[in-house]
Amino acid sequence: MKVLISIIILLLMFSCKKDNIIADNNPNFHKAFTYRESQEYDSAFYYYNLAKNDFIETNDSIGTARSLINMAMIQTNKGEFLGGIESSLQANTYLKKESDSTIRVLLGKNYNNMAIASNYLKNFENAYDFYFKALKYIDNTEDRYLCYNNIGDVLINQGKPNLAKSYLEKAINVKDSINYSKALNNIAKAKYLDNPNYDPLPELNKALEIRKIKKDGPGQNSSFETLSSYYLTKDKNLSLHFAKKMLETAINNKSAGDQILALKRLIILDSINYLKNFQRLNSINDSLQIIRNKDQNQFAIIRFDVDKIKEEKEGKETEILQRNFGIGALSLLLVCGFFLYRKRKKSLQQEKELEIKETQLKMSKKVHDVVANGIYQVMTKIENQEHFDKEKALDELEFVYEKSRDISYDKADPLTEEKSFNEKISEIVSSFKNNEINTYLAGNDKEIWENLNSKKQIEVYQIIRELLVNMKKHSKADRVVFRFERENNLIRIFYSDNGVGISGDVIYKNGLSSTVFRIESIKGEITFDTRTEKGLKINISFPVF
């Protein structure tokens, strides 16, 4: 059994001294380090990602590599093994001077992480190769013993116990008692697998006793698994006993992976409770898969804004609207909306100056929300459809037209109540997704928007739609991410795309002045990050009440 979490924690411990030095010089790295120490790994991953960006901007290859290696180890620890290997491989591109002592340490950790991930994926050949590459860069004797133990473990999994013994005999010299118990358990396993007449029980029981004294939960679980496997063909009752101990320990350790392993053994040995254990296995396995998929998606979204930028796609003009009846209706509606706005503005000019300004602003805002953005959203839907449905488009245009008529009577334009607000957010963002633009959402849970009144919901909805319309018109982006967070009564919206970006002096000329006004109207704040090499980042925050 692979004691994955304990190995990852050990790796993280190795990096603490150097990380403290870098943390003093980089605020994002310091935050990541703090979150990692408190085992808040999602937040740690987020700030390591920001720190990596900082280091890239200052051409600090070691800082960049260290950030990526920490990200890789977090991914491996959370069960996103392929992502962990990918981050490690990316880190290697920043570690060129192999003679440098710091780089050698980082390479050793990095190859060790790739080996652990490969081992868990049951790609034992790659795991074996990565461990040997790690060994090349490990100068510390105790760390080399740990690596010998890992190599021996992989060889056991490959069915080569005789070869495994030669490495485990070196690993057994380790001084740390917990690591010694690992090597002792493994060498006993290798000996009896190589020679069925060998009695491994003295060594297996000694390893278990050390783990109990040290309160090493994952280690005890490993011992129980080894003992259950040993008795599987010798004494079914004892094998069942240790399988139950394994499940009990896995529950105490909150290790879903070890619970699954124990339940698989119990299904074989405990025929009376077969159905109960089988149902429990399926439930835990499904929950674990959901968690890992969620983590994988979360990591992918967090890393979105620093992924390698693809070569810009050749621009191409869309011909869809020019080949169907809808173009005439859309043009007419745009003209009507424009003259409606002009007529309303003219009538208001006879009123008091303060009332004129307030009403003009209100009308401009409504026309922008209902007519311009509404029509542009319909255009986007038509543009993204493989088969154009003229009748459906006309129905949607009629809806926008009716809404525009409401403006002339100064009717309110609340969001419809058929769906929850987070569903409406998902729908508006997904409506801009097509073959050329990918949209991503993170954190859009129902709880984020709890107690947000209808007025602010309308403003937030329009803010998000304006950002999407602006992106579609101006940015030439092919990837867009919205991430939502809530801390007590403060909601934060993080927007990023990989388009052409905009400089600070043209932000208000790029269709975003209305967005800024909206945010101010709900007592919020907005910042534009235009320092990125490519793309646009916008951070928005506002109070719920």
277 and 361 belong to one structural domain: no
Do 6 and 74 belong to one domain? Answer: yes
Q: Are residues 433 and 405 in the same domain?
A: no
In a domain, 179, yes or no: no
Residues of the chain with pLDDT under 50: 1-17, 306-322, 324-325, 352-354, 356-357, 359-361, 402, 405-406, 408-414, 506, 509
Q: Could you tell me which of 420, 416, 419, 418 has the C-alpha nearest to residue 446?
A: 420
The reply to whether 380 and 462 lie within a common domain is: no
| Alpha-carbon span 363 to 344, nearest angstrom | 8
H-type alpha helices, 409-452: 421-430
Q: Are residues 16 and 122 in the same domain?
A: yes
Residues 370 and 434 in one domain: no
Q: Does pTM top 0.85 for this prediction?
A: no
Residue 506 lies in a domain: yes
Each as own residue / partner, the long-range contacts of residues 395-404 (CB below 8 Å, 24 or more positions apart, any chain) are 397/326, 397/329, 397/330, 397/333, 400/333, 400/370, 400/371, 400/374, 400/375, 401/333, 401/336, 403/370, 403/371, 403/374, 404/333, 404/336, 404/337, 404/340, 404/367, 404/370, 404/371
Pick from 183, 42, 11: nearest CA to 108:
11
3-state secondary structure of 496: strand
φ/ψ of residue 432, rounded to 5: -95, 5
Contact 516, 525 (CB under 8 A): no
In a domain, 400, yes or no: yes
Total domains present in the chain:
4
At residue 8, the pLDDT reads: 44
Is the Cβ–Cβ distance between 168 and 180 less than 8 Å? Answer: no
Identify the pLDDT of residue 52: 93
Examine the fold and report which residue of 413, 438, 467 is the final residue of a domain before the chain moves on: 413
pLDDT of residue 433: 87
Tell me the C-alpha distance between 303 and 127, whole Å.
26
Query: Closest Cα to residue 370, out of 343, 407, 329, 340?
Result: 407
- CA 274 to chain centroid, in Å, comes to 37
- The amino acid present at 288, given as its one-letter code, is L
Question: Is residue 388 in some structural domain?
Answer: yes
Q: Which of 372, 392, 373, 370 is nearest to 382 (CA)?
A: 392
Residue 428 sits in the same domain as residue 408: no
Q: Domain boundary at 86, 110, 139, which?
A: 139
CATH of the domain at 44: 1.25.40.10
CB 302 within 8 A of CB 45: yes
Alpha helices by DSSP H, 254-325: 256-269, 274-302
Same domain, 364 and 402: yes
- Do residue 133 and residue 1 come from a single domain? yes
Examine the domain organization and report whether 345 and 428 are in the same domain. Answer: no
pLDDT of residue 275: 87
290: in domain: no
User: Is there a domain that residue 311 lies in?
Assistant: no
Is the torsion defined by CA of 124, 128, 129, 131 positive or negative? Answer: positive
Is 303 within a domain? no
Final residue in a domain of this structure, among 385, 413, 441: 413
Domain coverage including residue 110: 1-139
CA angle 126, 119, 266 (to 5 degrees): 150
Q: Which are the contacts of 203, defined by CB distance < 8 A and separation ≥ 6? A: 184, 185, 187, 188, 191
What SS3 class is residue 437?
coil
Q: What's the CATH code of the domain at 545? A: 3.30.565.10
Tokens (6 digits) for 457: 């919901």
Same structural domain for residues 514 and 408? no
